[in-house]
Amino acid sequence: MYCSKCGTQIPDGTRFCSNCGAQIIQQTSTPPQPVPQPVAPVYQPMPQQPVYSQQPSAGGSKTTLIVALAAIIVIVIVVVAAVVLMGGGGVSGPTDSIVCDARMSGSSQGVPMQMTATTKIKKPDKMRLEASGSVMGMSVQLEMRLEGNTMYMYDPTGMYGGSSGNTWIKINAQEADSTGILDTAWAQIGDKTPEQLEAEMRSSMGDNMGVAPDVSCRYVASIPDSEFRLPPGASVMEY
């Protein structure tokens, strides 16, 4: 050890420095502090999210999508089939285009609904549907564009996973229908006049859905192809 005053090395245990006579203060070792034991953290329980019986989960479920799609599509599917399945034949008449307005209110297969829809059709395989109302108590506002068996659905509310803006969901119409309602409707159609289409729709919807819609169909001047295309900048989601 060394004297803290003059720095002379002195034997351990010496009380006074042999060089300068300064008193040596003995240093005592401090026992090491015990290592603290880890303590398990205490977590506050996470608050439970409320459950909404009539709201779909984020992104929607395929079952809900099918139910809503079938409920809406079936209103106009008889008309669509006339131009989709007949190839170049389609609807005969003074023009290649027909517009149908449909209203349906009631309970279909236990699903309460109120819907209004306007359908624009251009042979051989183009359709545009704008529908609004409620299905199973949920507000529905949809736009669909169909070419052949490929459907694009615009979902402004984000109900089925689309974001706000210009997002369209691409659906194979036949794959989406697990109920067989669409197949039944497809098989019943040939070339029809607007009046015949109205009668077919009322009959087919009454038989298959249990609710007969109020339908009005009419020939219109040829609808521009641009009305059936997706808008510029549209992004497409596969479903």
Tens-digit pLDDT profile for residues 62-118: 555 555 555 555 555 544 544 444 444 444 567 778 888 888 787 766 777 787 888
pLDDT attached to residue 77: 53
Question: CA distances (Å), 97 to each of 115, 129, 146, 193, 224, in order?
Answer: 23, 14, 15, 11, 10
CA dihedral 203, 205, 208, 210 (to 10 degrees): -100
Task: Write down how long the chain is.
Answer: 239
The answer, yes or no, to whether residue 207 has pLDDT greater than 80, is no
pLDDT average, residue stretch 110-137: 79
pTM for this model (two decimals): 0.56
Give CA–CA dist 189/107, Å, rounded.
Answer: 25
pLDDT average, residue stretch 115-128: 80
